[in-house]
Each structure stands twice: as C-alpha cells, then as structure tokens.
Structure 1
C-alpha cells in the first residue's frame, strides 16, 4: 500500500469535526484510505452494494439512526438524501468524528451537501497517487518555493518523463505490467465512468456524446478551450458543452484552471485552460504510450504541463496555506502555465518545458509580472526535463521537473 500524505490531515479533522469527507475520482484509493484510518472498530457501509443502497434510499433517516460510533459511508453521492439525515444526527449528537464519508463526485459541488452540512463538514480531496507518494517520501516543494527556495535535486533518466506521464497515478493502472495493459485499464475506466456513474449526479440528454467529448478534451489538454468550437464538432451548443464539461469536472476527469488576474493588472485574458486530473488517462485518450510520446514533442509538451498540474494540485490539496492554482496570459501574448497564490496573496509563477533546454526568453512574462507585483512576487520557476538547477536572475530559476517530488 502506498502512503497517502493527506492522511494526517484527515486524522486531525476527525478529532474536532462532526463529518469528514474524502472525495476524489474512482479508483484513487479513497476506500482503502478511510478503512485504514478508521480501523477495525468502525462500521463500513458501501452504497455501491445494491442492498445497502436500497435501504439507504428507502429510509435515509432510519438508516442513519441505526449507525453507532464512527461510521464510514462509501460513495455518498449515490444516495444524496442521506445528507439531511446525517445533518439531523450530528445536530442531535455534535460529537466529533461521527461520520467519515467518501464520494467519487466532487462533494463540494453537490447542492445537497452545501445546504445540509455547512459548518459541520471538512472535505479532503484524494487524487490519484502523486509522484512523492509513489516514491514514499513527502515533498515540500510548494512550501519551499513560497519561502523563495527552489529545491536542488531530482534528476530524471532520459526517457523517464514520457513513462511517468503515460503511467499516471491510479494505483490499479500502476499495478498493470506493460503499457498495453495500462492502456486497456484506462479505456475500461473511462467507459465505466461515462456509462455508469454519470447518472448518479446528472441527467444528460446527450450522454451518448460524452465519450467523443472526452476524446476531444484530451486533444485540447493544456490549452485554453473554446467551448463554442468544441460544440461545433459535436453539433452541440455552447451551453450544453459547458454543462457536460462541468459534469466531467465533478467526476474528477478534467479541470478548468481559471485565469489569474488582479484589478491593478489590466489587459489579462480570462479564458480557462483545460487539464486532465490524471496525465495517464489523458495520454490514453490520445492513444499515446511512452514509446510514441517520447519522440512526439508536439504532444509531449501539453501532457507534461498536465502532469505538472496534477502534481501541483495534489501538493496544494494537502497544504494548509490555502494554495490556489491559476494560469496567466496577457493580451500581449505573455503566458505563464501556472500561478500559485497563497492566503497572503503571494505569488509563485511556474512555466513547464518538456525539453532539456531553457532559453532566457522563457522568463520574460515572469519578469513583467514580478515588476508589477513587487514584493508579492516570491519566485518564478521554469521546470524542464533537465538535470541541473540554474539561477536566471533575482527570484528566477530553472529547475528539473523532478524537483517537484525529489
């Protein structure tokens, strides 16, 4: 079993919070983690089981009243009416650590939870394995760079980056030997989500178009996505595409990374970028494996960016500094792949290069941003597929991509 570095935060929350939720994509390891945290004395109820799900749906209040002690409810989105019953139970008995629930839809976006459990719940996000979890050593990359320190180390062997990108972080996929086995797993995974799980959170009139939409989104991974243009390829209006992409976000397949802007900085583009939550799934949807991805620099670049986004999102999710992730583009064409912002509104800018060379012009947008932000600009980093860390000026660095986790 791989270590999950979000575990200490969940254990701490159970000491002072009535309901603790762990949400994340299917097969990310949620059930395994909560069972390990709760121990043998807890009650485990899975709503994937027909009998349990029917009992919960038929009588939510009675179902919850029959629970004693710490109770795990797995896949809570399958019976959303349980939320009100849980609210009543924890209001009657406000003892902390009463319920530990999981969901394969983003619990924070479900109206039933927002309305019922506000102030009573703490939500944690468990995404597929991060590279530092695979290595078994927690990374402090985000904490370090917000102190103005860029980690030195983390060298990838030649050809290692395409392998890591195509492998992704799903434990079940990583357990498959060989690229072909993993590719088959990713295909089956995407089909199961689209054919079975979508109905738990939405009724879509054109659900049959979802597989093609997922493939199109994979082709635009790492780009600013024009929903009108996407819809034209599917004979779908923009509003319908937006709703479908929103459902895929709720299911943790994709993320729209919002643009960063401040009122004092004018002329900033405000269209979101799209990334897949798991780079392995994105590569599989594009029919790319390590052997074909390595020489294909056109595909490697966007997928390397998605890979870095996924690593940053996992580390940000276990940070206590309220890290948000955005992208930056001004109307003069200056772009920065990721803007990390903490509670103090301090900024770290990160650009991703899939090649082994960093050119000075890669820092031009960062210099411009640093000049505008002054002391709030902490660091600008170009992550590249190289072997050494270099300083390129005040607060500006080039560092190997593996510095994220090594």
Structure 2
C-alpha cells in the first residue's frame, strides 16, 4: 500500500483510474478485537439502542484500553510490557515512521517534526491553530500546516474538519486533530510527565479520540459510508459536537463525556445540532453502564456499547 498510490505517471493523471479501490488500514477497533463482524456505524445509524443494556466499565480498565490502543503489537502484549518498554516502543515506532525511508520526496527536519507531533499528541482532539502552535515553537504557520499534512500521510494523526466551515475552506485550519491510535498519545503524555489517569482533562480528551477511533475505521465496511466532521458554533456560549456523520441529507451526532452520569446539560451540543433540518439522531457516549433514551431522538450510550453488539437491536435488512 501507499499513501500516494494514485500519483505519478501519465503526466500526473491517475494511472489506476477505475482499477483500484482505496482502503485505510487503521489500528484494530475494539469490535474487531472482540470478533464482531458488523459495523458500528450501521448500528449507530439504523440500529435501535437497547434500553435493557447495562455494562459499566471501570475507569482504570477504560484507561488500559486507551493506553493499549489498537496496534496489535501494543494491544496484545500490553500487560506484559513494563512502563518504560511501552514508552520506548511507541517512541521508536514514531521515529521510524518519521524517517526518510517513507515517502522520500517529502523532506522533513526530524527535530521540527517531533516537536510539532508531540504537541499534537499531547492534546488529542484539539482544534488546530497553526498560528498559535507556530508561535509556541518559533515556526511559521505554513510550516506547521505542511508537517500536519505529512503526519496525516504517514498515518500518525487524522483530521476532522468543522461541518460549519464552507466546503471550499475545508483544510487543516481549525480541524480537530486526533491521533490515529490513543496509545501514541498516552505514551507521549507519560514521557512528558503528564499522567492522564490523574488529569481529568487529558483523560477526557483521550476518551474523545478513543471513541472517534472506534467509529471512523468502521465507516469503510458500513452500508452507510457517511462523511465525518465535528461541529462547532462559535459565540459567547459556543456549542460543539465531537463527531458528526453526514450521509444523504441525514446527520448523526456523537458527543463524548468522561463522566459516569449524564444530565440534560450534557446534551446541549447535540440539542443545538438538532436545529439542523437534516438531524436524524444523536448519542452521548459516557462511561456509565445504561442505555438511556432522551427526548428528541437522543441517546445516552455507554462506551462499552461501542464494541458489544448486544447494546443494539439490529435494524431489519
């Protein structure tokens, strides 16, 4: 496989037009690890959440899942590695991916690349402000943008554009940047002396990226194949939804909270998104155990429901 499979040859035209399909091999999702062969996207879109489902998950267990991530080498042997071994393994793999042997036409400075990437991995799900990040690192905004593009082509991070942004402006600017796997962020944070288990903000940010990483890969084998964004409405009281899926004039929103309890206030972002005429349904993914239905086709969904198909009553074929 290659990130640039459609480039080169025939004076820049695609030599494989209509001859190739493109798939991204993401780290394994929890559904794949549990041997579930249905798409989470299809369940979120057309399944009926089962209000009898109740499967809480302990904070430490959820952290271990996020730290182990979806790369088979990390996740399958996570408990067998010492703390320093996990950190070293991730750091060595990042250095290898940033080496000149991959996409050699893209020249980069390893020190600059590592500085920018470290900042991005330490704020999973953060909205990219290339100018502010450039000022922190004494770099030009265009340099930051170029390196973010390199990280995406080397499958280290992914970007979710803002649904509110006009189509002709859908670039990295103000996109949400997620690690391709939460293990990269966890080990990078730990290497910088930040423990997500004791920092609720870091824990919540990791959980958002973890949920996104469970959903986005399954788009590829879903029946729906939605486009994915986040949504943020600026203002004195900004409203935001962490993940928005759009397909055929319908919208499904997913908000993530690291709390084990939910209140009406937690649904304010989804409620604002529901003003869009295309709104179909919305989910608040949280760390409690029960599936709960709320007015307006809104649901509170336990994070464990993302990989346990018993949480959904399958839609009729």
Q: Same fold (TM over 0.5)?
A: yes
Contact persistence 1:390–1:399 (CA under 8 A): yes
- State the 1:215 CA deviation: 0.6
- Distance in 1 (CA, whole Å) between partners of 2:224 and 2:47 is 15
Match of 2:117 in 1: 214
Mapped pair 1:170 → 2:75: no
- State the 1:116 CA deviation: 1.7
- Distance in 2 (CA, whole Å) between partners of 1:237 and 1:350 is 34
- Distance in 2 (CA, whole Å) between partners of 1:247 and 1:221 is 17
Match of 2:243 in 1: 338
What is the DSSP-based 3-state SS (H/G/I as helix, E as strand, rest coil) of the residue aligned with 1:115?
A: coil
- State the 1:258 CA deviation: 0.5
Contact persistence 1:169–1:278 (CA under 8 A): yes
Match of 1:121 in 2: 20
- State the 1:203 CA deviation: 1.8
- State the 1:356 CA deviation: 0.7
Match of 2:315 in 1: none
Match of 2:60 in 1: 159
Gaps of at least 5 residues in structure 1 are 1-101, 264-269
C-alpha change, 1:304 and 1:164, in structure 2 (3 Å) is: same
- State the 1:262 CA deviation: 7.9
- Aligned with residue 400 of structure 1, among 284, 296, 302: 302
What CA deviation, in whole Å up to 9, does each residue of 1:72-101 have, x standing for no partner?
xxxxxxxxxxxxxxxxxxxxxxxxxxxxxx
C-alpha change, 1:114 and 1:182, in structure 2 (3 Å) is: farther
- State the 1:185 CA deviation: 1.2
Q: How does 1:182-193 map to 2 (within 5 A)?
A: 182-193=86-97
What is the DSSP-based 3-state SS (H/G/I as helix, E as strand, rest coil) of the residue aligned with 2:49?
A: coil
- State the 1:132 CA deviation: 0.9
- Distance in 1 (CA, whole Å) between partners of 2:175 and 2:215 is 17
The alignment yields a C-alpha RMSD, in angstroms, of 2.3
- Distance in 2 (CA, whole Å) between partners of 1:196 and 1:318 is 33
Contact persistence 1:336–1:349 (CA under 8 A): yes
Match of 1:52 in 2: none
Contact persistence 2:57–2:288 (CA under 8 A): yes
Contact persistence 2:55–2:288 (CA under 8 A): no
Match of 1:54 in 2: none
C-alpha change, 1:230 and 1:156, in structure 2 (3 Å) is: same
Q: Which has the higher helix share?
A: 1
Contact persistence 1:167–1:182 (CA under 8 A): no
Contact persistence 2:29–2:70 (CA under 8 A): yes
- State the 1:218 CA deviation: 1.2
- Distance in 2 (CA, whole Å) between partners of 1:126 and 1:153 is 32
- Aligned with residue 135 of structure 1, among 34, 49, 64: 34
Who wins on radius of gyration, i.e. which is larger?
1
Normalising by structure 2, report the TM-score.
0.85
What is the DSSP-based 3-state SS (H/G/I as helix, E as strand, rest coil) of the residue aligned with 2:244?
A: strand
- State the 1:139 CA deviation: 4.1
Aligned residues: 292
- Aligned with residue 49 of structure 2, among 145, 150, 154: 150
- State the 1:153 CA deviation: 5.1
- Distance in 2 (CA, whole Å) between partners of 1:386 and 1:139 is 23
Match of 1:309 in 2: 212
- Distance in 2 (CA, whole Å) between partners of 1:160 and 1:174 is 13
Contact persistence 1:293–1:299 (CA under 8 A): yes
- State the 1:283 CA deviation: 1.1
Mapped pair 1:271 → 2:174: yes
Match of 1:241 in 2: 144
Q: Higher RCO, 1 or 2 (CA under 8 Å, sep at least 6)?
A: 2
Match of 2:312 in 1: none
Match of 2:132 in 1: 229
Gaps of at least 5 residues in structure 2 are 167-172, 309-317
